[in-house]
Structure 1
Amino acid sequence: MAGHNQFGKLGEQKVIDFLKAKNYRILTRNYRYLKAEIDIVAQHADTLIVVEVKSRNKGFYEELTTTISSKKIKLLTMAANQFIQENDLDLEVRFDVVTVIKNGEHLHIEHLENAFYFF
């Protein structure tokens, strides 16, 4: 597995640990529907949280939240709708982005709630 893929998996696991520490219940990881993939699906209170994880090394200067294109938003929305239908859920839905930045051996995690709206 390439180094960036390993770091991406490590980033996702760190985000899961981070969310669990904030009392989020992790429902699934890497949920796929057609061409869409949701990194993490969690629940917090009465809200379904669709989490996009962005892991990067220090020196990546682009604002990570801007790396989510309108096409990606449509795919995430489609997959979230499918997940809700498959699991017969009646919850509010929120789309979050969690960034993991590696600086040497240190990982910095930043959680952006309501990163985008789907309507």
Structure 2
Amino acid sequence: MSRKDMGKDGEDLARGLLERHGLEHVESNYTCDMGEIDLIMRDTDTWVFVEVKSRSNEQFASVVEQITAAQCQRIRRCAQLFLIQQNLNEHVTRMRFDVVAIVMDYEQAQWLQDAF
């Protein structure tokens, strides 16, 4: 399986997991000059910006350990731009940043709410 296919499959699994927990899908693969947000969801009155990390296995490092501070900062900046484009005030709007880590070999998903 290619990295692109694994990423797409992981995002689909993550979306399904979040929807089963009551979140509403808004957008996938939102891109801007600063980067990309894998999934944008709504959890009642909260915007949820989701980073999905998919790996075939955890042989070298856990999936969650592979998220860098720079990556978190890029996602935050993209989220701010998204909210501006939606005519929402980022200082008033409730938002959080979640991570869904997928290990494809074991079909495991770990959802970390308010991860960064």
- Residue 65 (str. 1) matches residue 67 (str. 2): no
Q: In 1, Cα distance between the equivalents of 2:28 and 2:95?
A: 16
What does residue 115 of structure 2 align with? 115
Post-superposition, which runs of at least 4 consecutive aligned residues in structure 1 deviate over 3 A? Answer: none
Q: Contact (CA 8 Å) 1:12, 1:39: kept in 2 or not?
A: yes
Q: Deviations over 1:16-55 (max 9, x none)?
A: 1111111101110000110310000101011111100000
Amino acid at match of 1:109: A
What does residue 30 of structure 1 align with? 29
Amino acid at match of 1:112: L
Amino acid at match of 1:70: A
Q: In 1, Cα distance between the equivalents of 2:58 and 2:99?
A: 19
- Residue 91 (str. 1) matches residue 93 (str. 2): yes
Shift of 1:15: 0.7
Q: In 1, Cα distance between the equivalents of 2:111 and 2:59?
A: 18
RMSD: 1.5
- Residue 11 (str. 1) matches residue 6 (str. 2): no
TM-score (norm 2): 0.89
Q: Deviations over 1:56-105 (max 9, x none)?
A: 112434132222212111111110001111112352110111011022xx
TM-score (norm 1): 0.87
Query: Residue 102 of structure 2: which of 100, 111, 115 is its match?
Result: 100
Unaligned runs of 5+ in 2: none
Unaligned runs of 5+ in 1: none
